[in-house]
Chains A and B, each alone.
Chain A
Amino acid sequence: MKQSSLFDIISPIMVGPSSSHTAGAVRLGILASNIYGATPKKVTFKLYNSYAQTGKGHGTDKGLLAGVLGFSVEDVRIKNIFDLPEAKEIQYKFEFLEDFNRHPNAVDFIFEGTQKMIVSGNSIGAGNVEITKINGFSVKLSGEYNSLVVIYKDKPGMISKISGLIQTEGVNIATLVCDRTAKGEDASMCICLDAALNYSVIEKIKKIDDMYVVRHVGKLES
């Protein structure tokens, strides 16, 4: 059993009204935009099920946008985010949908800008979140760890090249999730780490042949 911490109970300090629908939304937005890795020109937020039904009343729409813009869960400006200059820098729209094959609090971020990327995630309770898909690839990212997300061409030796470079830093891999569309096609890896990686290693990983996307996604503040 995972140890229960005092700070699971007497935090986070956050803007209300709901840990799953407000704080969770901000955290999903932060993770998704870190995975996108740049300021998008346009974001379409697709909210599903409970997120769609009660999202507006809980400020879920505001929270998601705030997260994408890099606001923290305790930023009181979130309430008025639609009127802030930061929000006017990008185009955004919200779609409210129903799909009972999806989690009750599911969201897709469709980023457009220098490239297009779709990031999907769920708010799983008490402000905890999970990113489940990036461009359709299965991943497992909670913000609990510093993580590395890579998308590359499926071919022998890629996992060992990447993990080898991580090893040179002496950083331990906590969990590793791989996925691919088909043999020899696109593949993805989501690596949760026990420490942050140095910039230089990330640059080395980027230089491996046939890497399409390399993102270091920082741990979320607890």
Chain B
Amino acid sequence: MWENWKVNMKNEINTFSDLLLICGQKNKRAYELVQEKEAFLLDTSIDEIRLKVKKSLDAMKNAIKIGLKSDEKSISKQCGDDCKKLQEGFKAHPALFGDLFEKITTYALATIEENLRMGKIVACPTAGSCAIVPAVLIAISEKFNISEDEQINALITAGLIGSIVQTKVSLAGAVAGCQAECGVASAMSAGALVQILGGKEKQIVHSAALALKNILGLTCDPVAGLVEIPCVKRNAFLAVHAVTAAELALAGIESKIPPDEVIDALTQTGQLMSPLLKECSQAGLAKTKTALKIEQKIFNR
């Protein structure tokens, strides 16, 4: 198998169309190709690769578990108790969209709040967008009793989507805005969800494209330069966003703009966005009257 992979190194999976082509030719699932490639590149076995993925998965579950119980504030004291508020809110008024919605949104807030209080999380793809993939993946897995093996497959699928986007654009708010962080995390989550719910590779790829299309131009304008406002709530919003993309793709709806061209659009949009809106907190939400007041409060403390 390794030899096969070597021969096919020219078939690097750098685009969504490469992926669909190679999956078709080899009659393999996307996650199978990725674990073979990783084993080859890291000179190890597929079992070792899956174990490494499981470590990330376990760390994600642990962050949710701890985060759900905490309302400790962040270093800046601005955030940290939204997850608790939301859980109490759902006790009083169950979510309109049902218990899965409750799980996804509370898990997202639990994880991202753990992040900002310096708890242990998994950057996925970044720390500021770390809650989206775990919220979707773990909420669905619990709801439908998905086996650990299938959860690992889904997390590999999510990682593949991120790495395909990364071949064209750096996944950093400073380079391409939040579309490249929370936006990409949402696309990764959509693909993971489609994988878990039995969708095929084409649907995985289109779910990612649909999720990305609807966050193009998303700015990175954090208040006081901290991964807090609006990052915390955005993680919950974009976790739900991923579910919409997955549902559409599972119904066979495709992105009319081919998935690779959507990445091109994201890349170009990132380049055209003013640097003031890319992580430096010089515009947008970060320069609102209230943001400036918060900033002053934090830095004078």
Contact = CB atoms under 8 A, between A and B. Distances in A.
Contacts of B74: 17, 57
A125 B172 contact: yes
A13 B122 contact: yes
A22 B174 contact: no
A200 interface: no
A16 B42 CA distance: 27
Interface in B89-127: 114-127
Interface string A11-39: 11111111110110000000000000000
B266 interface: no
A18 B227 contact: yes
Interface string B142-181: 0000000000000110111011101100111011000000
Interface stretch (A2-10, A83-91, A146-154, A182-190): A2-10
Interface stretch (A71-79, A163-171, A201-209): A71-79
B51 interface: no
A74 B58 CA distance: 13
Contact of B166 (A4, A14, A54): A4
Contacts of B115: 16-17
Nearest to B163: A4
A58 B120 contact: no
Contacts of B230: none
Given A10-B56, A125-B172, A15 B118 contact: yes
A127 interface: yes
Interface in A102-127: 104, 125-127
A11 B172 contact: no
Interface in B278-301: 280-281, 298
The residue among B74, B120, B226, B280 with the most chain A CB atoms within 10 A of its own CB is: B120
Interface in B217-254: 224-228
B163 A6 contact: yes
- Interface magnitude class on chain B: 35 or more
A28 to B, nearest CB: 16
B120 A9 contact: no
Interface in B57-112: 59, 74-76
A58 B160 contact: no
Nearest to B59: A13
B12 A10 contact: no
B34 interface: yes
A59 interface: yes
A5 B118 contact: no
Contacts of A76: 118-120
A56 interface: yes
Contacts of B125: 8-10, 126
A3 B41 contact: yes
Contacts of B120: 13-16, 74, 76
Given A7-B38, A10-B56, A19 B75 contact: no
B117 A13 contact: no
A56 B301 CA distance: 11
A22 B14 CA distance: 30
A18 B128 contact: yes
A19 B123 contact: yes
Nearest to B53: A10
A153 to B, nearest CB: 39
B123 A127 contact: yes
A7 B123 CA distance: 10
B51 to A, nearest CB: 12
Q: When A and B form their complex, which 6 residue pairs have the shortest distance between CB atoms, in order from nearest?
A: A16-B115, A9-B162, A54-B225, A79-B118, A4-B163, A6-B159
17 contacts: A4-B14, A11-B124, A13-B122, A14-B120, A14-B123, A16-B120, A16-B130, A17-B115, A23-B123, A23-B127, A57-B224, A58-B227, A79-B117, A79-B119, A125-B170, A125-B175, A126-B125
Given A62-B118, A79-B118, 4 more contacts: A7-B159, A16-B117, A19-B128, A74-B59
